[in-house]
Amino acid sequence: MTAPVRPASQAQLSARRRRKAPVRISPARRAVENLVIQIILIGAFLVLWEYASDRWVPKLMVSKPSDIGAQIWKWTLDGTFVRNLWVTVQATALGFLLGAAAGMVLGFLTGAWRRVGEILQPIVTAFYTLPRLALAPLFLLWFGLGMEFRVMFSATIVFFLVYYNTYFGVREVSQELIAAVRIMGANPLQVALRVIVPSALVWVAAGLKISVPYALVGVVVAEMLASDEGMGFLLSRGASQFSAAQTFAAIFGLLVVALVVDWLITALTNRALRWKTAGSMQN
């Protein structure tokens, strides 16, 4: 006869559950592991680049990481890097602020008031379809080669991105919610501040995050077209001199600026949307 099967004890069941349970990695450990993997990948790419240059690919076209690092160090010592980087950062910040502010205001007006939207929306769309590079000669004529030209050229790019996100964000606000708040006695200003603005904030935050790199693109393009300073000027000068090391050094500076600005905007938008994250966690 087959021996009867004894039921597993509580301790044995607990041990089995512990063996089957997946190992959970803390967020801090996962972040460190991801950072290590990223550093290894970047390091491997730089080593491969250093080896391939002048062996598989002509050095004139791609330079070398060692030469690019030497160029960055040279520009850092003589002040070229910091001076031109600061010019580009200033123009990017001013262009972003000007374009974002104008886009949010007009987007809110055309989205909240239907009659205003019916009048202005076709005009804004017509200007949106116009290539921004076509405005460069006109801006040069109006503002010259100084900071104003870069700021305005960048602001025109940022404006439309923020405008459309704000416009559609306001239009997506629940009309039933607005009606309910009005029934409770809220005036138009209270409806705008308590209902429309918080509801559209997610769309606005997305527009701001998307427009940050485009603000930098606008400034760099303006500096490449007509300027005697800024990272775009260094990029254009390096290309005109067939110096891949100078060109990649300027690109590296732009990459640093883009990452820092994107990190700042992400931190600000996350802070502004903290109430929404907290509400979703409670639900």
- Higher-confidence residue of 125 and 282: namely 125
Residue 274 · residue 224 · CB < 8 Å: no
Give me the domains of the chain, ranges plus CATH numbers.
65-282 (1.10.3720.10)
Query: So what's the pLDDT on residue 5?
Result: 47
- Higher-confidence residue of 188 and 78: namely 78
**Pairwise CA distance, residues 61 & 45, whole Å:** 17
- Determine which of 46-60, 118-132, 174-188, 238-252 has the lowest per-residue pLDDT on average: 174-188
| Residue in 138, 134, 149, 142 with CA at minimum distance from that of residue 226 | 149
Please give the share of the chain, as a percent, with pLDDT higher than 70: 78
Query: So what's the pLDDT on residue 193?
Result: 63
Q: What is the DSSP string of 136-180?
A: HHHHHHHHTTSHHHHHHHHHHHHHHHHHHHHHHHHHTS-HHHHHH
- Secondary structure letter of residue 58 according to DSSP: -
168-204 pLDDT, tens digit each: 887 776 666 666 767 776 666 666 666 667 767 777 7
Burial of 281 (0-12, 13-18, 19+ CB in 10 A): exposed
Tokens 């891949």 found at: 244
* Apex 281 CA angle, 278 and 283, nearest 5: 115
Predicted confidence band at 79 (pLDDT cuts at 50, 70, 90)? confident
**Pairwise CA distance, residues 186 & 216, whole Å:** 41
Return the percent helix, strand and coil in the chain, to nearest 5. Answer: 85, 0, 15
- Provide the token pair at 262: 């994107």
Query: So what's the pLDDT on residue 28?
Result: 80
Query: So what's the pLDDT on residue 62?
Result: 83
pTM equals 0.75
Predicted confidence band at 275 (pLDDT cuts at 50, 70, 90)? low
pLDDT for 90 beyond 60: yes
User: Taking all residues of the chain, what is their mean pLDDT, rounded to a whole number?
Assistant: 79
**Pairwise CA distance, residues 135 & 221, whole Å:** 12
Please give the share of the chain, as a percent, with pLDDT higher than 90: 7
- Higher-confidence residue of 96 and 25: namely 96
The type of residue at 47 is: V
Query: So what's the pLDDT on residue 205?
Result: 78
212-237 pLDDT, tens digit each: 888 888 888 888 888 788 888 888 88
Query: So what's the pLDDT on residue 174?
Result: 64
Residue 238 · residue 246 · CB < 8 Å: yes
- Higher-confidence residue of 145 and 102: namely 102
pLDDT for 12 beyond 60: no
